[in-house]
Amino acid sequence: MGDAPMNEERTLILVKPDGVQCGHIGHVISRIENRRYEIKALKMVNPTKEQLRQHYSELVDKPYYPGIEEFMTSGPIVAIIAEGDEIIETFRKMAGPTDPTAAPAGTIRGDYARSWGPGPIKNVVHSSDSAESATKEIKIWFPERS
Ligand code: ADP
């Protein structure tokens, strides 16, 4: 522990349907635990279209949104709240870039995802990109906590 100020954060992580179907729930959880972040809540969910429209509110008007909706409703997902210093930036680095082809080996997307051609990008995990997004997304997937 250094002298840098603490920045304890919470983030919302989703193991997407491809991650669940391909047996990567445990791998994602292990990577969270290996970095000594704390899992505060975890559950399996069948996402509704309404939850997805809220979660992806910045993408609903994109031409590829129907593909995202179809992909994200193709099976259950696992929603996780994880906590720790600088976890938002750190977990985004652990996940790797959106495009699996661009994701370096060693990242979650670089190890467990690849391109499948046209259509929704199947990239195993989601994680919040800011503290504001985390607050919003935790309400969407864990409404019973508020
Ligand atoms: P990230 O998940 O890396 O934060 P975005 O918020 O930009 O990325 O996009 C959300 C999700 O939408 C991506 O993870 C991916 O599954 C899907 N997606 C993003 N851009 C595209 C695209 N151009 N074509 C198909 N699917 C996309």
In a domain, 65, yes or no: yes
Per the DSSP assignment, residues forming a β-bridge with 38 are: 83
Rounded Cα distance between 68 and 119, Å, is 8
In a domain, 104, yes or no: no
State residue 13's pLDDT score.
99
120 lines ligand 1 (CB under 6 A): yes
In a domain, 105, yes or no: no
CATH code (residue 78):
3.30.70.141
Q: What is the pLDDT along the chain (146 residues), one digit of tens a residue?
A: 557 778 999 999 999 999 999 999 999 999 999 999 999 999 999 999 999 999 999 999 999 999 999 999 999 999 999 999 999 999 999 999 999 999 999 999 999 999 999 999 999 999 999 999 999 999 999 999 97
For 59, the 3-state DSSP assignment is coil
In a domain, 108, yes or no: no
- Only one residue has tokens 């990239």, namely 123
**In Å, what is the CA distance from 43 to each residue of 80, 105, 116?**
7, 28, 28
- Only one residue has tokens 């919040």, namely 128
Domain count, the chain: 1
In a domain, 68, yes or no: yes
State residue 108's pLDDT score.
99
In a domain, 78, yes or no: yes
Expressed as residue numbers, the domain containing 133 is 12-91+117-145
State residue 2's pLDDT score.
59
Q: Ligand 1: which of 74, 94, 98 to mutate, judged by most atoms within 8 Å of the beta carbon?
A: 98
State residue 4's pLDDT score.
74
Tell me which residue has its CA closest to atom 23 in ligand 1.
Answer: 64
Q: How far is CA 129 from the centre of its chain?
A: 10
In a domain, 76, yes or no: yes
State residue 6's pLDDT score.
86
121 lines ligand 1 (CB under 6 A): yes
27 catalytic? Reply is no
